Amino acid sequence: MRYAAVTDRLATMGGARWDIHARARALRAAGEAVIELTIGEPDVPTPDALIDVAHAAMRAGRTGYSNGRGEPGVTDALAARYSARIGRPFGRENILCLPGTQTALYLILMSLTGGGDEVLVGDPAYATYDGVIAASGAVSVPVPLRPEHGFHIQSDDIAARITSRSRVLLLNSPHNPTGAVLSMAELAILGQLAERHDLWLVADEVYEDLVYPGTGFASPLSLSNLADRTIVTSSISKSHAAPGFRSGWCVGPAEFCTRALPLSETMLFGSQPFIADMTEAAIRAPSPVAAGMTERMARRAALLRDRLQDVAGLAVSQPRAGMFSLVDIRATGLSGRDFALGLLDTEKVAVMPGESFGASLAGWVRLALTQPDDMTAEAAVRIARHAARLTRA
């Protein structure tokens, strides 16, 4: 039988990259005591107050059809939030609500790119970016994020890869998997590059509420000269520990939202009104869980650095935000994947291979900072023991 070309383009870009996570879950289901440091699952449940809002909304009959843009309450709440944060007015016309950041990125890139277009994206990158780029027929152009620059994307590296087919510069700050956070000065330089080459600037800001102390968050939306070419996306998945509710949005020029709306309606024609009510409540007040998560993630990142830095040749990159820490395991002579497989088999610790996030992270592993401190410390002991065996061998 015949299939559309998109199924070939995406054939290797699905869940296969998470096979070690799936294997760890299978071991746990079989009774193995696996310490799981793979995915960015918040370490607290969704706040009861938000569950209560969703429950009350369902009881009140908010279970019918919605519209393609988003319920008026949540779009108004988002417009107020971004107007206050950015310092210039946003309205409903600047907002599209979707089921999570992943869907929002799919909509954005399907609306901005087509066959043969190029999207400049940092390498390493979140594992699903290749798929949302390839869906339209566009091509990912990896821009190396170098450890010596703290994994901050460099304008010279971007400029060297711009061609006549370049359409979008896709940013992720705070960054997954590196935990790097771009400054306003860095964003201004990247904005100048986008203006010079007529690029869209798309920013995934899902970790914006999980920035560690001493580091400030900056958004390209704050640069008014880039207003007609900047789109940002975020959600309540991380900030409010609500990943399963799949509630996200994108914010951008009114013209973009108008042109992208029919595509959103074709895919979804609206999210659930009771989840929109819950999201509105989340947006209109500070998150009750973000500050605690941020403190715990920062503490565990420091714990891993203290326990693993320079042990058996390991090197630990210190994140400035988010839920992950990177460990350089190249001294063991193994790829990140082989190290992770051996670690799971021998020590029952599950981590993500760096290769799942791009070629430039070969020989690294990503550790989620989502387990309690004592489990994180125990995982560090087991990782050090595994690395020591390998370096002795």
Burial of 191 (0-12, 13-18, 19+ CB in 10 A): buried
Those residues with Cβ within 8 angstroms of residue 52's Cβ, 6 or more apart along the chain or in another chain: none
Q: How far is CA 361 from CA 10, 119, 127, 289, in A?
A: 21, 19, 12, 31
Cα radius of gyration rounded to whole Å, the chain: 21
Strand order of the sheet with strand 166-172? 95-98, 248-251, 230-235, 200-204, 166-172, 118-123, 139-144
Backbone angles phi, psi at 86, to 5 degrees: -90, -30
Measured CA to CA, the distance from residue 197 to residue 4 in angstroms comes to 32
Burial readout 172-181 (b: 16 or more C-beta within 10 A, e: otherwise): bbbbbbbbbb
Q: What domains appear along the chain, each with residue ranges and CATH number?
A: 5-45+289-392 (3.90.1150.10), 48-284 (3.40.640.10)
pLDDT in tens, 99-110: 999 999 999 999
Q: At what angle do helices 273-283 and 48-59 cross, to 10 degrees?
A: 140
pLDDT in tens, 15-61: 777 889 999 999 999 999 999 999 989 999 999 999 999 999 999 99
Those residues with Cβ within 8 angstroms of residue 185's Cβ, 6 or more apart along the chain or in another chain: none
User: Sign of the CA dihedral 122, 351, 305, 213?
Assistant: positive
Q: Residue 18: what pLDDT?
A: 84
Nearest in space to 352 (alpha carbons), one of 333, 365, 339: 365
Q: At what angle do helices 373-392 and 336-347 cross, to 10 degrees?
A: 110
Q: How far is CA 307 from CA 16, 123, 312, 317, in A?
A: 31, 27, 11, 13
Measured CA to CA, the distance from residue 271 to residue 118 in angstroms comes to 30
Nearest in space to 369 (alpha carbons), one of 179, 182, 206: 179
Q: Residue 290: what pLDDT?
A: 98
Burial of 98 (0-12, 13-18, 19+ CB in 10 A): buried
pTM for this prediction: 0.95
Q: Residue 274: what pLDDT?
A: 98
- Counting every residue, how long is the chain? 393
Task: Please name every residue paired with 202 in a beta bridge, in sequence order, or none if there are none.
Answer: 170, 231
Nearest in space to 328 (alpha carbons), one of 180, 147, 154: 147
Burial of 76 (0-12, 13-18, 19+ CB in 10 A): middle
Those residues with Cβ within 8 angstroms of residue 87's Cβ, 6 or more apart along the chain or in another chain: 222
**Average pLDDT for runs of 10 along the chain of length 393:** 91 80 92 94 96 98 95 98 96 97 97 97 95 96 97 98 98 98 98 98 98 96 96 98 96 98 92 97 97 98 98 96 98 96 96 94 97 98 96 79
Backbone angles phi, psi at 209, to 5 degrees: -90, 5
Those residues with Cβ within 8 angstroms of residue 103's Cβ, 6 or more apart along the chain or in another chain: 246, 248, 267, 268
Q: Residue 233: what pLDDT?
A: 98
